[in-house]
Amino acid sequence: MGMKTEDRAQNTDIDKTKAVLVLSDGTVFEGWNFGAEGETIGEIVFNTSMTGYQEILTDPSYKGQIVVMTYTQIGNYGINKEDVESMRPNAEGFVVKECCNFPSNWRSEKFGVRSSEFGVIKSLGDYLREYGIIGIQGIDTRALTTHLREYGVQMGIISTIDVNPKSLLDKVRKHPGISALDLVKAVTTGKKYKWEQGVWKWQPAVARVDSSQLTVHSQQSTVNSQLKKVVVYDFGVKFNILRNLVEAGFDVTVVPAQTPAEAVLEMNPDGIVLSNGPGDPQTVTYAIEAAKKLLGKKPIMGICLGHQILGLAMGGRTYKLKFGHHGGNHPVMDLKTEKVEITSQNHNYCVDIKSLGSQVVLTHKNLYDGTEEGMRHVELPVFSVQYHPEAGPGPNDSVYLFKRFREMVEGK
């Protein structure tokens, strides 16, 4: 099966290196490389966000996946030190219609001195090459998205060193798939650490804001109480989750994914957060076992993968969506208030709420496809959501959930 691709990349200022994308069903897209050279395999998913490509690339939940952006021009505002959700890009590859090689934004990072004393703005392509991430541009990304919507998510391969479709198809079909891998171990922290940065507080300025100017905003005057201690299991946590916990009045400690429940309970936290992360939740058996031991011991909040882990820990099932939810425009209804939130999402798996019987109640529902987006235990101080209340990127409609967790910890 083949598809029509663009004849050439839109940017003519760089030397073009041919790149080929082959899906496991045999579909072939030909384009041009704009990142590192080489070869990469991952599960192909599409993201409908128009901005936020740097946050998307650095979201640890994308480990094992190749991300396709549906918006046509990517890279317009360059790269900076602040808009990252982890220490490095985690996506296996990046697919765009057109990458901008000459970004323009007052926050764009500059490097080197090529043509002027002010240096040259770092492009998205520069960023990908710096971290060895392969990118392909010049293909019809919306046709690719339509194909994934119709036939479902599947493995794919991008190569700049082997452009033979038959050879690439053979390689990608030999891959076991991400459900055979524990991707959490590849993105979790290696040691426990404290987090003290609050959410961004932008102020009008003519100069760019540097990360050294960050301040902690615990909002103690708002919560009218001392800081509450929270331990965050890092299954691939995004920095903005940690920032929002600080903002809600928490003293935040992050621990590795394989930390035993007993070690966390010895820290005597006021609450526990199970973070987002990559891959099939059923592969993270140690996290499921830890969650079982923590249930009923401390208030717990789960986000995305953490939500799925909670579902499995309570004896439920998870299932895989046809093409997942990835983007910043998903309408979700809070069934308690009947308020509709526009949410940021990044997941391929869902919890089957019915499999949990009467243990939990459904709290949030996706208005696109009716899938489950949140649950609350009927007896224990436990709730979780499938989407990303911290956004980064995306709308801030769901940030109230961190305040709700704070109220749960306080016993309200």
Q: Which of 147, 325, 330, 388 is catalytic?
A: 388
Residue 388 annotated to the active site: yes
Are 291 and 313 contacting, i.e. CB atoms less than 8 angstroms apart?
Answer: yes
- Distance CA(56)–CA(85), nearest Å, equals 8
- Residues facing residue 32 across a β-bridge: 18, 137
Which long-range contacts does 284-287 make (Cβ < 8 Å, 24+ apart)? Answer: 284/182, 284/184, 284/235, 284/257, 284/309, 286/257, 286/258, 287/184, 287/233, 287/235, 287/257, 287/258
Q: Which of 304, 307, 350, 372 is catalytic?
A: 304
- Distance CA(208)–CA(228), nearest Å, equals 33
Are 7 and 29 contacting, i.e. CB atoms less than 8 angstroms apart?
Answer: no
- Distance CA(350)–CA(353), nearest Å, equals 9
- Residues facing residue 215 across a β-bridge: none
Cα four-point dihedral sign 260, 264, 265, 271: negative
Q: Could you tell me which residues come within 8 angstroms of residue 233 by beta carbon, excluding any fewer than 6 positions away?
A: 255, 257, 259, 264, 272, 273, 274, 275, 287, 290, 306
- Distance CA(65)–CA(364), nearest Å, equals 26
Q: Which residues are catalytic?
A: 304, 388, 390
